[in-house]
C-alpha cells in the first residue's frame, strides 16, 4: 500500500470513528464528498489546504494523519503536555490508549475529553481521568 492509500485508510477510519457519512464529513471539512471518496480510496493526493481543513475539523495535526496512529495533542507554552490516543488503523480500528506522565489543567482536560468523545474513541471517564492526570 502506498502513502496516498495509507492516508486514505486513516481518513476513512477517522470518519467512521466519528460516525459520519462521507457527505457529513465533507460538509464539516468544507470539501466535496467526491474529494472524501477519492481520498479514502487512495485515488487522490490532497493539497495542503484540503489536509488543513480536515485537521481543523478533527483537531488533529497534519502529521498525525501520516502516522500509523492518530494523535490528539495539547501543547501549552513551555510545558509540552500531551495525551496520546492511538487508533491502530490496520488492526480492526481497536483503540490503544497511552497516557505518559501528563500534566494538563482542568480546562484542557475537559476540551481533550470532549474531543475524544466527539470522535467516539473509547469511553472516557472524566472524573477518573482528571484524578489520575491533573495535579
User: How confident is the model at residue 86, as a pLDDT?
Assistant: 30
**Domains of the chain, residue spans:** 3-66, 84-133
Which residue do the cell numbers 464539516 mark? 28
Per the CB < 8 A criterion, the answer to whether 70 and 60 are in contact is yes
The predicted-structure confidence for 69-96, as pLDDT tens digits, reads as follows: 544 433 333 223 333 333 222 233 333 3
The pair phi, psi for residue 85, each rounded to 5°, is -115, 115
**What residues of the chain score a pLDDT lower than 50?**
70-105, 119-131, 133-135
Question: pTM for the full model?
Answer: 0.54
User: How confident is the model at residue 118, as a pLDDT?
Assistant: 52
User: How confident is the model at residue 127, as a pLDDT?
Assistant: 42
Nearest to 54 by CA among 113, 66, 43: 66
| Domain 3-66 of CATH type 3.30.830.10 | no
Amino acid at each position: 500500500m502506498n502513502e496516498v492509500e495509507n492516508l486514505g485508510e486513516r481518513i476513512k477510519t477517522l470518519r467512521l470513528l466519528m460516525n459520519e457519512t462521507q457527505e457529513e464529513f465533507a460538509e464539516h471539512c468544507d470539501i466535496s464528498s467526491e474529494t472524501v471518496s477519492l481520498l479514502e480510496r487512495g485515488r487522490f493526493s490532497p493539497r495542503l489546504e484540503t489536509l488543513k481543513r480536515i485537521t481543523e475539523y478533527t483537531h488533529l495535526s497534519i502529521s498525525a494523519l501520516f502516522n500509523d496512529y492518530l494523535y490528539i495533542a495539547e501543547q501549552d507554552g513551555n510545558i509540552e503536555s500531551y495525551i496520546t490516543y492511538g487508533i491502530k488503523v490496520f488492526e480492526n480500528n481497536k483503540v490503544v490508549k497511552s497516557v505518559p506522565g501528563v500534566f494538563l489543567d482542568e480546562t484542557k482536560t475537559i476540551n481533550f475529553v470532549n474531543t475524544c468523545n466527539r470522535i467516539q474513541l473509547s469511553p472516557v471517564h472524566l472524573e477518573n481521568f482528571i484524578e489520575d492526570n491533573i495535579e
